[in-house]
Amino acid sequence: MRGDSFLRGESSTTTAQEGAMTIPFQVRVQAAVVRGAYALPRPLRRLLAGAPVRRDGQELALDAQLLLRLQRLSGEQLVSPRGVAHSRAALDVGRHLVSGPPIEPVGTRDVAIPVAYGDLPATLYTPAGLDGPSGLLVFFHGGGWVVGSRASHDNTARFLAQRAGVRVLSVEYRLAPEHVFPSAVDDALAAFDFAHAKAGDLGVDPARIAVGGDSAGGNLAAVTAQLATRRGGPAPAFQLLFYPATDATRHRRSRQLFADGFFLTSAHMDWFSGHYAPEGVDRADPRLSPLLADDLSGLPPVYIATAGFDPLRDEGEAYARRLSEAGVTVALSRQPDLVHGYVNFLGIGHRFREATAEAAGALRLALSPR
């Protein structure tokens, strides 16, 4: 592949009207119902959501509780009993209900990352008015290494790009069960190396490249930071980890407390890990369980966000503690009233956007010109 051929097409923006034209009518009706529920006066939203939910000294945000109520009424789940393909399709539909219209003005460009097996697809997001070399976030989407895509996290990438004032490279890494561990890890590291090598062509400063992601994507970002740092040479300048999976070997207290009823369940986690790390995989491998790495010193500064009502909460916070003990600069931010997945719910209510904006602020500060 020629060195100048990885950028495909012209920079463009997608208007909300153009995006709506591609959404099936029934889904648009459902989205209108969801928006209508969130537009109700607070007393009516509380009535619809039910009595406040309190657990472990925390109270669930009304925005989050209403979302869970609407999810139960719809009968949809994060993981479909009909299997992987249906789960992926359901997530693609569900994103139209909660992520909101495309955030503008943000330019997008397709990028092909050359790897041993061909090209790894990615999308480069550039917020309007960004001049000169900028910071870059290499972003890995969540979805348990099995579901999710650049499309499912499109507005998340747009939001982070716009609010942080950086470019975002969202990577379409290979998914399980078609490609089991460590395929996604190999893709994530290749994407970071590409971003650093092609920084000038991407319009970014090679000294200001961060890695980040949510859930399984947070896991991949953490692993990429470890691998890049330990080998020597180019390493990320910063890590942005939303409720990352960090330890596949044990269940902590939060997994028991929030095993069911809060979007991501313990059963979902078993389903995801069973596809990504099937029998025979060493789940203590730091490329799967970054919390278990022998040495965490020397890693780049990190912002770790956890959600109070999330089975993954405690392992994310355990990773933050280990990093801090190793001398790494850590900003740990528990969102005590939210559930797993909140960076995808930017189109409903206010609380999800508020929490994600805090992380974008941390990214802006970390990648600002020195």
As annotated, the active-site residues are: 215, 310, 340
**Helical spans, DSSP H, in the chain:** 16-21, 25-39, 42-49, 62-74, 84-98, 154-164, 183-197, 199-202, 216-231, 253-257, 266-276, 313-325, 351-366
> Within 13 Å, how many C-alpha atoms sit on residue 112's CB side?
14
CB 95 within 8 A of CB 151: yes
SS (H, E, C) 11-41: EECCCHHHHHHCCCHHHHHHHHHHHHHHHCC
CB 334 within 8 A of CB 272: no
Please state, in angstroms and rounded to a whole number, the distance separating the CA atoms of residues 223 and 204. Answer: 22
Please state, in angstroms and rounded to a whole number, the distance separating the CA atoms of residues 64 and 50. Answer: 12
Please state, in angstroms and rounded to a whole number, the distance separating the CA atoms of residues 73 and 75. Answer: 6
> Within 13 Å, how many C-alpha atoms sit on residue 358's CB side?
18
Please state, in angstroms and rounded to a whole number, the distance separating the CA atoms of residues 208 and 144. Answer: 28
CB 226 within 8 A of CB 189: no
The helix or strand, by DSSP H or E, that contains position 171, with its residue range, turns out to be: strand 167-171
Dihedral of the alpha carbons of 19, 305, 197, 299, in degrees to the nearest 10: 180
The dihedral region occupied by 280, where left means phi > 0, alpha psi between -120 and 50, and beta the remainder, is left
